Each structure stands twice: as structure tokens, then as C-alpha cells.
């Protein structure tokens, strides 16, 4: 791999493609962030439904979780973009990708959260109820802070999978990092070089996300039963 800036070298080609690569990286990070936020918010709500909802609400939530966990992510992305169009619902490619990623990850976050809250000793909820706290306050002030300690590691894993899952969005025409790198390869034929660069960028994004998760874990590590 030639690291000089002479025409035809790797660094020269990277500099030439810098605009598209940075734009692709931005699309990857934005789609990941939106999907993670969607999955976290919806997953927490569905996790509460799984753990404390009425029987019919638990049933609906369970059907959703089992269905989403059983469908390959690629199939879900294709259905969201192409399948909904059959019913007259035309969703732009980027939005369809975010919806598919978020819907897929929501099921995993919901199941992780359900397991986390149900791992908190039942006496904690009973004690909070005994001092007159409402259900919302019991959940917010007693159960959720303790459940976060056990939920964070699998949440980080899910977030990392979302970042890697954005590579599948190229199948519906979203020019994310991988597709932008492949477009550069089509011009310069430096396939191994650009794949290594792309892998390094994905590692950098996921390492940053993992460090954020570790920081949050330390934030909640002071809690004890």
C-alpha cells in the first residue's frame, strides 16, 4: 500500500474520494443514531408492556418481538422499501432503512429490558408500593435505575449490530459508507485498500459507541440492592 500523495497512490485516491466517503460515513452515523434512538424508546415501552402489561398487551408485544427476531434483517429492509409500495405506501430509501433497522432492534431491546426489570427482586417493587409511590414512580425511581445495570451490556451489543446492519441499506440504494467505498473502488480498483479503510472506519465508530456504553455502565455501577 503506497502512502505517498502521488497520482494513482492510495492516499491520493482517498483524498479524491474524501467527499463521498465522508458523506457515506455521515449517512451511516445518522441512520445508526436514528435507529438506536427509535429502538431504545420503543423497546423500553414494549419491555414495560411485556413485564407489566395486561395479558392482551403482553400477547401483542410478544408476537411482535418473536416475529421481528425471526425475520432476517435484509428481508425486513426489502419489505419496508419494496413491500409497502405494493400497498400504496411509498417510503424513501433512507427512511425505510431507518424504520427497518429500528423495528428490528426494538424487538431485541424490548426482550433485554423485560429480562432486566424482571431480574430486579420483587421486594423492590413491593417496598416502593408500600410507601405510596405510583406505578410510574416505582418504575422510574426504583426499578429502572437498577435494571439499567443489567440492560446496558446487551443494549450496547444491539447498538453495535445496528451500525454494522447499515451496510445492508445499500441494497435499496442508500449511499452509506460501504457503498460509497465501493463506488470509489469502481474508479481506482484499489479493492483491498479501500475495504481495509472502510473496516477501520466501522471499527472507529463502534469503538466510540462501546466506550460510551462502558461510561454509562460505570455511571450505574454504584447502585446496589
pLDDT tens digit sequence for 95-148: 999 999 999 999 999 999 998 888 887 777 777 778 877 777 888 778 887 888
Torsion, CA 142, CA 145, CA 149, CA 151, rounded to 10: 100
Mean pLDDT calculated for residue range 1-10? 65
Mean pLDDT calculated for residue range 12-19? 88
Q: Which residues, including other chains, have CB under 8 Å from residue 188's CB and lie 6 or more apart?
A: 13, 16, 17, 194
Q: Which domain holds residue 59?
A: 20-220
Mean pLDDT of the chain: 88
Mean pLDDT calculated for residue range 23-36? 95
Give the closest residue to 52 by CA, choosing from 122, 151, 127. 122
Statement: residue 36 has pLDDT above 50: yes
Question: Is 27 among the domain residues?
Answer: yes
Q: Which residues, including other chains, have CB under 8 Å from residue 153's CB and lie 6 or more apart?
A: 213, 217
Contact 1, 10 (CB under 8 A): yes
Question: Is 31 among the domain residues?
Answer: yes
More confident residue, 25 or 217: 25
Question: Is 13 among the domain residues?
Answer: no
Question: Is 5 among the domain residues?
Answer: no
Question: Is 1 among the domain residues?
Answer: no
* φ, ψ dihedrals at 2, nearest 5°: -90, 120
Statement: residue 1 has pLDDT above 80: no
CATH code: domain of residue 123: 1.10.3720.10
Mean pLDDT calculated for residue range 76-98? 90
Chain segment 168-225, per-residue pLDDT in tens: 999 999 999 999 999 999 988 889 999 999 999 999 999 999 998 888 877 766 655 4
pTM of the predicted structure, to 2 decimals: 0.88
What confidence score (pLDDT) does residue 223 get?
53
Chain segment 38-51, per-residue pLDDT in tens: 999 999 999 999 98
Statement: residue 16 has pLDDT above 90: no
Question: Is 10 among the domain residues?
Answer: no
Question: Is 9 among the domain residues?
Answer: no
The count of structural domains within the chain is: 1
Question: Is 137 among the domain residues?
Answer: yes
Residue identified by cell 426504583 is 142
More confident residue, 128 or 3: 128
What confidence score (pLDDT) does residue 101 get?
96
- Dist. CA 66–CA 58, nearest whole Å: 12
What confidence score (pLDDT) does residue 225 get?
47
Percent of the chain beyond pLDDT 70?
Answer: 94
Instruction: Please report the beta strands in the chain, taking only residues with DSSP state E, as ranges in sequence order.
Output: none
What confidence score (pLDDT) does residue 162 get?
95
What confidence score (pLDDT) does residue 130 get?
81
Amino acid at each position: 500500500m503506497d502512502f505517498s500523495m502521488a497520482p494513482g497512490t492510495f492516499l491520493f485516491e482517498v483524498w479524491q474520494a474524501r467527499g463521498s466517503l465522508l458523506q457515506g460515513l455521515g449517512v451511516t452515523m445518522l441512520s445508526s443514531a436514528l435507529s438506536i434512538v427509535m429502538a431504545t424508546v420503543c423497546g423500553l415501552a414494549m419491555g414495560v408492556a411485556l413485564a407489566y402489561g395486561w395479558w392482551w398487551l403482553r400477547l401483542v408485544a410478544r408476537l411482535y418481538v418473536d416475529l421481528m427476531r425471526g425475520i432476517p434483517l435484509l428481508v425486513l429492509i426489502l419489505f419496508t422499501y419494496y413491500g409497502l409500495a405494493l400497498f400504496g405506501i411509498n417510503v424513501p430509501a433512507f427512511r425505510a432503512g431507518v424504520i427497518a433497522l429500528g423495528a428490528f432492534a426494538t424487538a431485541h431491546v424490548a426482550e433485554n429490558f423485560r429480562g432486566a426489570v424482571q431480574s430486579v427482586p420483587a421486594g423492590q417493587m413491593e417496598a416502593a408500593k408500600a410507601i405510596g409511590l405510583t406505578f410510574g414512580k416505582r418504575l422510574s425511581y426504583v426499578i429502572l435505575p437498577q435494571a439499567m445495570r443489567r440492560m446496558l451490556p446487551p443494549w450496547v451489543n444491539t447498538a453495535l449490530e445496528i451500525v454494522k446492519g447499515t451496510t445492508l441499506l445499500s441494497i435499496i440504494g442508500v449511499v452509506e459508507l460501504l457503498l460509497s467505498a465501493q463506488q470509489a473502488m469502481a474508479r481506482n480498483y484499489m479493492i483491498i485498500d479501500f475495504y481495509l479503510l472502510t473496516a477501520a472506519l466501522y471499527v472507529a465508530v463502534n469503538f466510540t459507541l462501546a466506550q460510551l456504553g462502558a461510561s454509562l455502565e460505570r455511571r450505574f455501577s454504584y447502585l446496589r440492592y
